């Protein structure tokens, strides 16, 4: 197809969803080679994990920016606009660059016989990853903070040799692709560990640490465990968080972040310790850069407050581990009734997530407008024993309208279950236009 404008680019990119999810590095390797291997010319930090990796990426990118480095940030998925995925110093990729690079990549794929046929054609995520690397190299960034899409070992981002690998934590997720035990998932995540490159992790399970330790020994890679190296002392949780970190190189007193939730403290600690390890390896990052970067960080859709009367909170908790952290953190906000608008993806552990909702007074079931979304009917079939009121809504907009009709000023509306649901909610509540076509990954 001819790509002449931004909408054409989106139609091309999202048309690749028919290629599904193909874990493996052959396609992305060939594609990047055709583009001159831009990933090999970039300094990077590679961040994987089950939860918190997007926030950790955002914190670290802002620290590097504060230190004077031109910093690229690649994350997924986006909430409202595709260009959220690819940023330099906080600025989203210009749409004309998406058009230019989509054209170039489509041409490269068309000229390479290896990509002939649907079986061999690169996927959406592979093409977007290649587009990001090409953009970062063309813009001569100093550094890239790179979030994996799924897993690690066979993820399309796993073509870099970074200065540091980070694995935030491990829980059961994407079990169809990554395995049905913590050990199997840890093995896939550990695939981002490179020879001689340090690993930093906040994971704590014995079987996970055993896997990481063995991989680090085999690859002569230093292993840094966050719980052994950083102590967190929280002083204030609202309206912003104030805390101190004791690290191997000194204490940071009265750090401030605008993002809420206890779990953000671990993400922050990972970013700070990452910055320290980078500094130990030659980057110029000072304490003032860390303080400035942390306080500047904003990452929508993570315990995000959109309204106070009633409270409207958006959080993209998308698996049981994340949802189990969200529910107690809602106690930050005084409320009478808890109204939850929830929609989940088909490939998640729906039963385990739904068991965590016993404190919800009114449950509004909905679904995002993408193919991977679990249907309202499927979720409802698992809720026969729910003690509160259940309302069915066929889309996120209708779900929010129902929530607002139910809510009194002293109540709390929480929208959660998926970043796709949160993105649609944010678009509706803020009046921002939502892209008509949504991605699958």
What mean pLDDT comes out for the span 311-323? 96
Q: Sign of dihedral through CA atoms 425, 428, 432, 436? A: positive
* Tokens matching residue 114: 């290896």
Angle between helices 263-280 and 287-296 (to 10 degrees): 150
pLDDT band for 438, please (50, 70, 90 cuts): low
- The token pair at 293 is 């970067």
What pLDDT sits at residue 293? 98
- For residue range 117-135, list pLDDT tens digits in order: 777 899 999 999 999 999 9
The reported pLDDT for the residue numbered 17 is 82
Predicted confidence band at 175 (pLDDT cuts at 50, 70, 90)? confident
For residues 286-298, average pLDDT: 98
What is the CB neighbour count within 10 angstroms for residue 295? Answer: 14
- The rounded Cα 159 to chain-centroid distance in angstroms is 19
**Paired residues of 201 in beta bridges:** 167, 225
Tens digits of residue pLDDT in 257-287: 999 999 999 999 999 999 999 999 999 999 9
Cross-strand pairs, 345 = 373
Place of tokens 């000023």: 409
Nearest Cα to Cα of residue 158 among 29, 34, 20: 29
The ranges assigned to domains in the chain are 6-296, 304-430
How many percent of the chain have pLDDT more than 90? 89
Whether pTM exceeds 0.75: yes
Confidence tier at 164 by pLDDT (50, 70, 90): very high
CA atoms within 13 A on the CB side of 274: 33
Report DSSP state, residue 343. -
Q: What is 6-296's CATH topology?
A: 3.40.1190
Instruction: Return the CATH architecture of domain 304-430.
Output: Alpha-Beta Complex (3.90)
Q: 441 pLDDT band (50/70/90 cuts)?
A: very low
Mean pLDDT (the chain) is: 95
Per residue in 383-432, pLDDT (tens digit) is 988 999 999 999 999 999 999 999 999 999 999 999 999 999 999 999 99
Q: Provide the pLDDT for residue 134.
A: 98
Task: Render the burial of 79-108: b for 16+ CB within 10 Å, e for the rest.
Answer: bbbbbbbbbbeeebbebebbbbbbbbbbeb
Establish how many alpha carbons lie within 13 A of residue 229's alpha carbon, considering only the half-sphere containing its beta carbon. Answer: 20
């Amino acid at each position: 197809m001819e790509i002449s404008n931004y909408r054409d680019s989106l139609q091309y990119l999202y048309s690749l969803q028919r290629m599904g999810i193909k874990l493996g590095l052959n396609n992305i390797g060939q594609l990047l080679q055709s583009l001159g291997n831009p990933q090999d010319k970039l300094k990077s930090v590679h961040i994987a994990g089950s939860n918190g990796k997007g926030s950790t990426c955002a914190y670290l990118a802002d620290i590097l920016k504060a230190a004077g480095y031109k910093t690229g940030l690649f994350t997924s998925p986006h909430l409202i606009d595709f260009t959220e995925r690819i940023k330099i110093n906080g600025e989203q990729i210009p749409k004309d660059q998406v058009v230019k690079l989509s054209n170039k990549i489509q041409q490269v794929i068309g000229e390479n016989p290896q990509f002939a046929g649907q079986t061999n054609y690169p996927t959406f995520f592979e093409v977007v990853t290649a587009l990001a690397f090409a953009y970062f190299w063309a813009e001569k960034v100093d550094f890239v903070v790179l979030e994996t899409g799924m897993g690690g070992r066979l993820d399309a981002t796993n073509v870099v040799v970074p200065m540091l690998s980070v694995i935030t934590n491990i829980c059961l997720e994407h079990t169809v692709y990554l395995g049905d035990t913590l050990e199997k998932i840890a093995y896939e995540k550990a695939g981002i560990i490179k020879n001689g490159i340090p690993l930093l992790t906040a994971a704590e399970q014995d079987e996970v640490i055993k896997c990481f330790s063995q991989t680090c020994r085999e690859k002569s890679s230093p292993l840094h465990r966050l719980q052994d190296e950083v102590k967190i002392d929280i002083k204030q949780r609202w309206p912003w968080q104030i805390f101190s970190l004791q690290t191997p190189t000194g204490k940071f007193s009265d750090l401030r972040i605008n993002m809420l939730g206890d779990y953000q403290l671990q993400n922050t600690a990972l970013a700070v310790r990452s910055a320290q390890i980078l500094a130990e390896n030659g980057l110029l990052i000072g304490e003032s850069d860390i303080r400035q970067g942390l306080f500047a960080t904003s990452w929508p859709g993570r315990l995000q407050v959109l309204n106070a009367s009633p409270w409207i909170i958006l959080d993209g908790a998308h698996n049981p581990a994340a949802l189990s952290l969200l529910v107690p953190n809602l106690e930050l906000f005084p409320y009478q009734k808890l109204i939850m608008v929830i929609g989940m993806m088909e490939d998640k552990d729906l039963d385990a997530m739904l068991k965590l909702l016993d404190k919800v007074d009114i449950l509004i079931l909905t679904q995002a407008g993408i193919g991977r979304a679990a249907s309202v009917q499927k979720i409802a079939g698992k809720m026969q024993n729910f003690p509160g009121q259940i309302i069915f809504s066929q889309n996120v907009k209708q779900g929010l309208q129902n929530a607002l009709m139910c809510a009194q000023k002293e109540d709390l509306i929480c929208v959660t279950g998926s970043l796709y649901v949160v993105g649609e909610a944010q678009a509706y509540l803020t009046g921002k236009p939502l892209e008509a076509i949504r991605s699958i990954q």
